[in-house]
Amino acid sequence: MADELTIYGERFDSRFLLGTALYPSPQVMLESIAASGSQIVTLGLRRQSPNSKGGESFWQAIRDTGCKLLPNTAGCKSVKEAITTAEMSRELFETDWLKLEVIGDDYNLQPDPFSLLEASRELIQRGFKVLPYCTDDLVLCQRLLDVGCQVLMPWGAPIGTGQGLLNKVNLTTLRKRLPKIPLIIDAGIGSPSQACEAMEMGFDAVLLNTAVAKAQNPPAMASAFAGAINAGRQAFTAGLMLKRQTASPSTPTIGQPFWQQNASRD
Partner 1 sequence: MTRSTFGRPLEIAIVGAGLLGRLLAWRLLRQGHRVSLFEAGSFDQPRSAAHTAAAMISPLSEVVSSEPLVYHLGMASLALWPQWLSELNSDLPSPVQYGNSGSIVVAHAQDAAELQQFKYDLQTRLQHDDNSRWLDQRELADYEPDLAHFPQALYLPGEAHVDNRHLLGCLLNQIGKLGGHCVDNTPVIFTNGELDLLGNFNYVVDCRGMGSKENHPGLRGVRGEVMWVETGEVRLQHAVRLMHPRYKLYVVPKPQQRFIIGATEIESEDRSPISLQSTLELASALYTINPALAEARVIETDTNLRPAYADNLPRITVNGSCISINGLYRHGYLLAPVMVDHLAQFLDQGSRGHFWNNLVHHHSEADRASVAPISR
Stretch that binds partner 1, among 46-54, 173-181, 244-252, 254-262 (CB under 8 A): 46-54
8 Å CB contact between 127 and 96: yes
Beta carbons within 10 angstroms of residue 166's beta carbon: 14
Q: How far is 85 from 5, CA to CA, in rounded Å?
A: 27
Neighbours of 200 (CB within 10 A): 15
Question: Which of 159, 54, 14 minimizes the C-alpha distance to 101?
Answer: 159
* Closest CB 71 distance from partner 1, rounded Å: 14
Catalytic residue among 68, 80, 99, 243: 99
Taking CA atoms, 28 is separated from 32, 35, 75, 95, 215, in Å, by 6, 10, 24, 25, 11
Nearer to partner 1 (CB atom), residue 54 or residue 261: 54
Query: Total binding residues for partner 1 by CB under 8 A?
Result: 23
Q: How many CB atoms lie within 10 A of CB 259?
A: 8
Window of 17-25, 33-41, 84-92, 183-191 that interacts with partner 1 by CB under 8 A = 17-25
Nearer to partner 1, 50 or 232 (CB): 50
Active-site residue, 99 included: yes
1, 139, 216, 242: which one binds partner 1 (CB under 8 A): 216
Find the binder of partner 1 among 50, 164, 219, 232 (CB under 8 A).
Answer: 50
Which spans of this chain sit near partner 1 (rule: CB under 8 A)?
22, 24-28, 30, 47-52, 54-58, 61, 107, 160, 214, 216
